Amino acid sequence: MSGWHQAKLRVRFEETDKMGVVYYAKFFVWMEVGRVSLLRDLGLSPAKWGELGLHIPVVQAHADYTAPARFDDEILVKTRVARVGTRSIRFENEIFRLPESMLLCRGHTVHAFVADRGRSTPFPPDLRAKLEE
């Protein structure tokens, strides 16, 4: 499968809780940032999927947290395609705090491949080839 794709971001104040720590669910938002950025760089922007009448909703999400992030930390989100099945795709993520490259979270999401009416459908061969590059 593909190598690691990288996206950087800064922790916004609204992403923190009363203790000043990033709320755990925000890591899934960052995984989405990484996933969309990876797909866009492969020429598979969200608009392109929509034009084709295809969608990849999340059907599974998992995260293991190792350290906190706080307001204004610089974050590196690494994302890769781990597996392309016949009707699903798995993305893996590693999230780091910069500049020290401290691992904050490791996780994955699994997405079904569906057509406009929400029915599972096989990956078209041309999309599969791009995802497996």
What CATH number is attached to the domain comprising 10?
A: 3.10.129.10
Torsion of CA 30, 31, 34, 36, to 10 degrees: -100
Cα distance between the two ends of the chain: 6
Q: Are 11 and 75 in contact (CB under 8 A)?
A: yes
pLDDT value, residue 5: 97
Low-confidence spans in the chain with pLDDT less than 50? none
Domain that holds residue 45: 5-131
Q: Are 10 and 34 in contact (CB under 8 A)?
A: no
Which residue among 17, 41, 72, 116 is the active-site one? 17
Residues in a beta bridge with 79: 5, 93
pLDDT for residue 67: 98
Note if 72 is an active site residue.
no
Is 0.95 surpassed by the pTM of this model? Answer: no
Number of structural domains, the chain?
Answer: 1
